[in-house]
Structure 1
C-alpha cells in the first residue's frame, strides 16, 4: 500500500512539474526596468518583460521549461511605441508565452494620453458670443517635439463627437453629385453658410454612398443660386468621383444620398462636441451637463498600433497568448492627411475607375477596377501560429480592433469583448492590396499564405463601426477552415458577420468555413446592401447554420431597402444555410453559384435552436 501511494505521488508530481518550474515575470506601474522582474521587484514596462522572456528562451534557461508567464498588475500601461513580438519570442506547445493579468487585476495597454489644464472661455471669432463662456480649451500634450493631433477624444470614458453640422451622425440630402466637375451641391442653411465657413480650413464632408461612406477634406465651398457648391482636396477628390462603385445616388427610390459637414470650430454649437485647431493643437470642448472640466478625465489617442506580431512562412511567431488584458485608445489619422474613400468593408482605395469597355480575362462583365489598402489596426498579426486572445477587452479603438492579417493559423479569439471601435472589430485573412486589383481572384503560390483554422468563439461585439460606418463586426476575406461560432454581434452601422472576398466563382482556396450559432442583431443602422450574415465568392464545403438574426434596422438615409438577414452576395457558392432563425425570410442572393443549399431558414426554426445562438454563459 505504501509503495502504491509513493508511486501515485510521484506521478502527480511529474504532472505538475512544468507549472512548478514555469518562469514568471512581473510588471507594475510601481516597478523599475532595472529590477529583476520578480513579484517583489517588478519591471515597469511590458517591453522590458518581453525582452527578458526572449533572453530566457535564447539562453535555454530553466525558467522556460513550463512556460513563461508575464503578469501585469493593476494600472494603465501607456505605450508610445508598438510592442513588437517576433519569431525569437515564440513559445512551444509545452512552453507558451502568456501575457496575462495578476489575479484580480484589470491591466490596460493604452495608446492614449491625458489632456489637462482646461480653461473656461473662448474669445475665438468663429464662436458666437453667446457660446463663448460655455466653451473650454486646452493645449494638446506634447510627445517629443510635436503636439498630438487627433480625430478622437474620450471624456470620462465616453467618446465625444467632433463638431458637426448635426448631432449624433445626422445627415441631410445633397442636391447634386457631379463627377465631371468633381463637385457636390448641397442646400444652404443656417449652419451651412459659405461666408461663415470660408475660413474653416479643416472642414470635412462625410458622404453616405450606398454601403460605404467617404470622408472628404473640403477645399472650397461657394454660394451659387441659393445653393452651396463644394470642392475637395486631392487625392480623395479624384477617387471619389472616378470610382463607380459605390457612389452617391441622385434620384434614388428614397431620394438623393446624404451628407454632413464636420470638423470646424464654426460648427461647435452643441454640448458634447469638440474641435482641435491646426497647427496650434488647441482643443476646444463644449461640456455636457454635469461634466466638470477641472476634474474630468480627457483622453486622446497618440498611437495607431499597440501590438505588432510579425513572422514569416519559414519563421512564424508561435504559441503566444494574451489573457485578461484590455487594449484601449488607439488613433486613426489617415483621413486628416488624405481623406478616406472606400470600396467596401472599410478598405480605402488607392486607385479606382470605370472601364470604358467592360471585361477582364477572369470576368468578362466587370466594369469596375479598384486597388485597395488595408485599414489601420490596434493589433496586427502576420506569419504566426497559435496566437490566442482569451478573456481580453478591446475598447476605445479608432480603426480595426484585432487583425489576423496574413499566414496565421491554429489561433483563437475566445471570450473577449469588443466595444466602442471605429472600424471592424475583428478582421481575418487576405484582402489583396497594393498592386493587386481586387476583383482578380487571389490564388497564392503557397496555400499557407491564407489564414486557416482560426476560431472566433463566444465573443461579445457591440457598438463598432462608429468612425467608418462601412466596416463590419467580424470580417473575413480569403480564409479557409474558419470557425465563427457562438458570438453576439450587435449595434452596427452595416453588416454583422462577413466571410469571403473577390466577387469570383473561381476556386481560390477559400473553403470549409463555418458560421454557426451566432446571435446578430441591431445592424444596418446607417448603410444598406447589408446582411446580418454576408458572404462573397466560392467557398466549397462551408456552412451557415443555427444562427439567430433579428432587428434589421431601416437605415434612415438609405436610398433603397436592400438590407437582409442573410445576403449571399456575388458568386457565393458552396454554402449550406440551415436552421437560421430570423423573424421573416428576408434573404437575397446576387448571382449565386449552383451548389448552395437552403434548408429550413426563417421564423419557423425551433426555439430550441434559436435560443442556443449567441454566447455561452460562463459560470
Structure 2
C-alpha cells in the first residue's frame, strides 16, 4: 500500500514535470530566423519553428517530454510556398506538436495573400466609357519570383470584390439555345443593365478574357469564350477546349432549354452571365485584371479610400499540406487559434471549369447507351473527376486537429481531409468567405477511377474514419463555385458531424456519401446530429439542407434543424428539399429532424431507411438545441 502511494506521488510529480518542461518555440512577424526561437528572441517563419521542433524530436531532446508548443504572436505570416508537415513532425499522445496563438488575444494569420499598392486614379482606356474613366483606379499586380501574380480574387479592406460582370452579383439572363452538336450557346444580343438601359454584347467580341457562367441545375460551368457571332437579336457563343468538349459531351447536369431531353415540369430556359472583361467594369465594387500586363482595374465603392485601402490578392492556392503515408502517417499535430486566409483558385482561367457535382471538375465524361457498366447496367452518365484545389490538405494522418481556428478569404476548398485520415477533429472553428466547400472529407475517387463504380479499397486504412466535426460555424461559402457545399463527405466511415451551424450557401448544406450506388461499399455508421442548417439553395437546386448518396448502413440523421430553403431565382424546377436522400441512399435512420414543412424527397432509395417523427411537429426542445453548443472557450 505504501509503495503504491509513493508510486502515485512520483507519477504525478513527473507528469507535472513533463508539463512544466514542454518545449516552447516562439514565432513573430518581427522576429528573425537567426534567433533562438525564445519568447524574447522569436523566429520569423513558421517553417523555421517546425524544423526546430523536428530536430528536437530527432535528437530526443528533453524539451519534447511534455509536448512541443509553437506559439505564434499576433500578426500576418505571409507565405509564398505551402507549409509542409511530414511524418518526422509527428508527436505522440503524451507529446503532441501544437501550433497555436500566443494567447487568447493574439490573432496570427497564415496568409497566401500579397498587397497591391501604387494605386493611381483614372485611366485612358477606350474600352471604358469616358464618363467612368476618372472613377477607375489602376495598379500593377505585384511580382512574385519573376512574374506578375495572376488572380481571380481581390479583397479591398477585407471585402471581396466582384469581377467585372454583365449583371450584379447573382443576377443572370435566360439563354436562347444550347446546342451540343455544334458546341454553342445562343444568347440575346441585347439586355437591360443595372440602370435599366438597353445594352448589347457587340462590344465584347474582342474581349479576349471573357468568360460565361452557366447555370445548370445543381452545378455551374465556367467557360472561356472563344468567339461571339452576332446574328441580329441573337448571338452564338463558342468556347475554348477542354471545357467546350466537356460541357457539351456530359449528359448530367446540362442546361435546360424548353423542357427538352425528356424533362417535364421545367419552367423556362437555363441562365447565364458574362464576366471578366474591362468593357463590363461599370459598377462600384467591380474589378478586372488584364493579362499579360498584370494591370488591375478597380471601381471603388463609396466607402473605399484607395490611398489608404488594404488591397490583397492571393499568390498561393495551397497554404499547408500535411502529408503522410500508410506506413508512416503524420500523427498528433494540433492547430489552435490560427487564422488561415487568402488563397487562390486558377483552374477556370487555364482550362475552364465543368463539374459533375459538389464542385468536382470533370476530366472526361460522355453518355452511355444501354447497357451501361457491369456495376450499374442502367448507367448513362460516365464520368471521371478531379479533386478541387484546397487551402489545407491532410493525407495519411492520425490525430490532426483544428480547434478555434478561422478559415476565411479562401477561393476553393477550405480544409480537406483527403485520404487515410483517422481519429481527427475540427472543433469550434469558423469558416467564412470561401469560394468552394468549407470542409471536405474522404474519398471521391478521382483520376482513372470512374466515379459511379463502388469504391472498395484493398486496404481499408486508406479510408477517412472517426473524424469529428463539431461546433463549427460555416457561413458565406460556395461564393465562387455555387455547386459546392458546406460540409462534404464522400466514402467515409464512423464520421460524426454534429452541432454545427451551416448557412448562407448556394447549394446543399451537409452532404454525406458518393457513388450513386446501392452496392455495399465502405460507407457506414455515419452520424449527422444536432446541426442547424439554414439559408441554403440560394442559386441552385436539386439540393438538400441535409443530403445523402448511396448505401451507408448504420447511419443516422437525428435532432437537426433545417429551415430557410431559398427559392433559387433561376431554377427551372422546384427540386430543393430540407432532407434529400438522393440516389440509392440506404441504411439511414431519420429521426426528430425539425423543419417548417415536410419537404423531403428520396431518389430510388433502399429498403433499410427509417423515418421517425420529422417535420414541424418535432419538439421545441430539440429544435432549439440544434446548432453550436456554447462553451467557456468560445
Kindly report which structure 2 residues correspond to 1:76-155, keeping only aligned pairs within 5 A, or say none.
76-103=76-103, 104-155=105-156
In the other structure, the counterpart of 2:167 is 166
Give yes or no for contact 1:301–1:330 (8 Å, CA) kept in 2: yes
Q: Name the residue aligned to 2:18.
A: 18
| Structure 2: segments with no counterpart, 5+ residues | 194-198, 260-265
Alignment partner for residue 235 of structure 1, among 227, 231, 242?
A: 242
User: Following superposition of structure 1 onto structure 2, how do residues 208-607 of structure 1 map, counting pairs within 5 Å?
Assistant: 208-252=215-259, 253-607=266-620
Q: Would the aligned equivalents of 1:77 and 1:110 in 2 still touch at CA under 8 Å?
A: yes
State the alpha-carbon separation in 2 of the partners of residues 617 and 605 from structure 1. 22
Question: What do residues 354-407 of structure 1 show as CA deviations (whole Å, max 9, x unaligned)?
Answer: 013341111111001100000000000000000000000000000000000000
349-358 or 605-614, larger mean C-alpha shift: 349-358
Q: Take 2:552 and 2:536, find their aligned partners in 1: how far apart are those partners? A: 24
Which residue matches 1:55? Answer: 55
Structure 1 residue 5, shift from structure 2 partner: 12
- Tell me which residue corresponds to 2:209: 202
Q: Provide the residue aligned with 2:262 in structure 1.
A: none
Return the alpha-carbon distance in structure 1 between the equivalents of residues 625 and 49 of structure 2: 41
Q: CA deviation at 1:204?
A: 0.1
How far is 1:15 from its partner? 3.5
The 2-side partners of 1:447 and 1:6 are apart by 45
1:8 Cα offset (Å): 8.4
Matched position secondary structure for 1:269: coil
Residues 370 and 378 in structure 2, CA contact (< 8 A), matched pair in contact too:
no
Preserved contact between residue 479 and residue 509 of structure 1 (Cα < 8 Å): yes
Partner SS for 1:611: helix
Asked whether the equivalents of residues 304 and 331 of structure 1 are also in contact (C-alpha less than 8 Å), the reply is yes
| 1:13, distance to aligned residue in structure 2 (A) | 2.8
- After superposition, the CA RMSD in angstroms is 1.4
Distance in structure 2 (CA, Å) of the matches to 1:179 and 1:8: 76
Match of 1:71 in 2: 71
CA distance in structure 1 between the aligned counterparts of 2:185 and 2:132, rounded to whole angstroms:
31
Question: Match of 2:625, SS?
Answer: coil
Cα distance between partner residues in 2 of 1:261 and 1:534: 31
What TM-score do the two structures reach when normalised by structure 1? 0.98
For the 8 Å contact 1:194–1:222, the answer to whether it is kept is no
Q: Secondary structure of 1:493's match?
A: coil
Give the match for residue 185 of structure 1: 186
Distance 1:426 1:220 in 2: 37
3-state secondary structure, aligned to 1:318: strand
Pair 12,259 (structure 1): closer, same or farther in 2 beyond 3 Å:
same
- 1:612 maps to 625
1:308-330: CA deviation from partner (whole Å, max 9, x where unpaired): 00011111000000000000000
Q: How far 1:618 moved relative to its partner?
A: 2.0
Q: Is the 8 A contact 1:504 1:537 kept in 2?
A: yes
Q: What SS is found at the alignment partner of 2:343?
A: coil
For structure 1, which segment, 155-164 or 13-22, has the greater mean C-alpha deviation from structure 2 after superposition?
A: 13-22
**Cα deviations by residue, 1:49-103 (Å, 9 ceiling, x for unpaired):** 0001011111111111110000000000000000001101100000000000001
Question: Is the deviation greater in 12-21 or in 334-343?
Answer: 12-21
SS at match of 2:190: coil
Q: Distance in 1 between matches of 2:125 and 2:322?
A: 46
* 1:501-546 deviation digits (Å, cap 9, x = unpaired): 0001111110000000000000000000000000000000000000
3-state DSSP of counterpart to 1:122: coil
Distance 1:5 1:314 in 2: 41
Unpaired segments ≥5 residues, structure 1? none
Aligned partners of 2:112 and 2:232: how far apart in 1?
A: 48
Q: CA deviation at 1:7?
A: 9.2
**SS state of the match for residue 387, structure 1?**
strand
CA distance in 2, matches of 1:4, 1:68: 31
Of the structure 1 ranges 247-256 and 366-375, higher mean CA displacement relative to structure 2 is found in: 247-256
SS of alignment partner, residue 461 of structure 2: helix
Cα distance between partner residues in 1 of 2:97 and 2:300: 44
TM-score by length of 2: 0.96
- Give the Cα–Cα distance (whole angstroms) in 1 for the partners of residues 46 and 497 of structure 2: 31
CA contact (8 A) 1:212 1:346 kept: yes
Count of residue pairs brought into register by the alignment: 617
Q: Contact 1:326–1:392 at 8 Å: present in 2 too?
A: yes
